Copies of this chain bind each other. A is one copy, B any other.
Amino acid sequence: MILTVTLNTALDITYHVRALRPHTTHRVTDVVERPGGKGVNVARVLAALGHEVTVTGFAGGGTGRTVRDGLTATPRVTDALVPVTGATRRTVAVVDERSGDTTQLNEPGPTISPAEWRAFQEAYEDLLRPASAVALCGSLPPGVPVGAYAGLVRTARAANVPVLLDTSGEPLRRGIAARPDIVKPNADELAELTGSHDPLRATQDARRRGARAVVASLGPDGLLALTPEGRWRTSLPTPLRGNPSGAGDAAVAGLLSALTEHLPWPARLTRATALSAAAVHAATAGEFEWPTYEELLDRVAVTADATAA
């Protein structure tokens, strides 16, 4: 079983409107809702790849019940969210059918009490025992201490469970110092962490801060990985057009999936790159297309770099 942690789960709602005009009233023509938050998206991709996945984090209120119902209805996904008093946040994506552009409205999320945070940490320790890997994903809701991920990384390492961290800002800075097995920042997150806009230099700096491996997702420039086994870059023959939201989560799922199958790093990076591109190509944000994924597996170029990281 692979465990994913999403402390700030969400009910992701997508509205289609004919044309978004501020300060007017719109009839929504199409409503889609599904469980969201980065770790939940990672879990969905892992389950689609055939893995058993357990989802933990927090859920509360009517929105939390809807998230849990959605997870329960997903094959190979087990809901282990910890109940809280506050309501799970909503994110609303308003798609303008005329232009195709999306306007995003993100609620901040419920405030987690100290008792709820303690209850989560206990549940997390129990869930780690049967886990073959764990991913810690996304932002922290109000009330959770900024050093939360550092503690969760240490608990995973003490339990001998490989741990991947995918977050940003101060939670990333603190979490990386606790020596996670993998961090997967994007270019913006790397620059914020290290102050450098040079991807190679920033990735090297991130690794020196404590991560055993750093896999930087550089959008159309593919992945840059600095690992104990070596240094690689991945690329695709032609960049794919589409919606980049969810590409990072698909990459995380690819890394974890291949890690639990004990594949060497180049194979892990191939899978992550193909999944990421297949997610960009998908019609729905956060999904990925199987045919695109399988086709791309043969087309990903992984270039080794002899220079030690």
Contacts and interface: CB of A to CB of B under 8 A. Distances in A.
B108 A28 contact: yes
Taking each of A17, A101, A105, which has the highest tally of chain B beta carbons within 10 Å of its own beta carbon?
A105
Interface in A66-124: 66, 69, 90, 92, 94, 96, 99, 101-108
| Interface size range on A against B | 20 to 34
- Copies of this chain, complex-wide, total 2
A26 interface: yes
A15 B91 CA distance: 11
A106 B22 contact: no
B25 A104 contact: yes
A25 B91 CA distance: 10
Contacts of A23: 96, 99, 101-103
A27 B90 CA distance: 11
A75 B27 CA distance: 32
Contacts of A24: 103-104
A301 interface: no
B61 A103 contact: no
Nearest to A65: B62
Contact of A105 (B17, B61, B108): B17
Given A24-B104, A29-B108, A62-B63, 15 more contacts: A15-B105, A15-B107, A17-B105, A20-B103, A21-B103, A22-B22, A23-B96, A23-B103, A26-B104, A27-B106, A28-B106, A61-B66, A62-B65, A62-B66, A92-B92
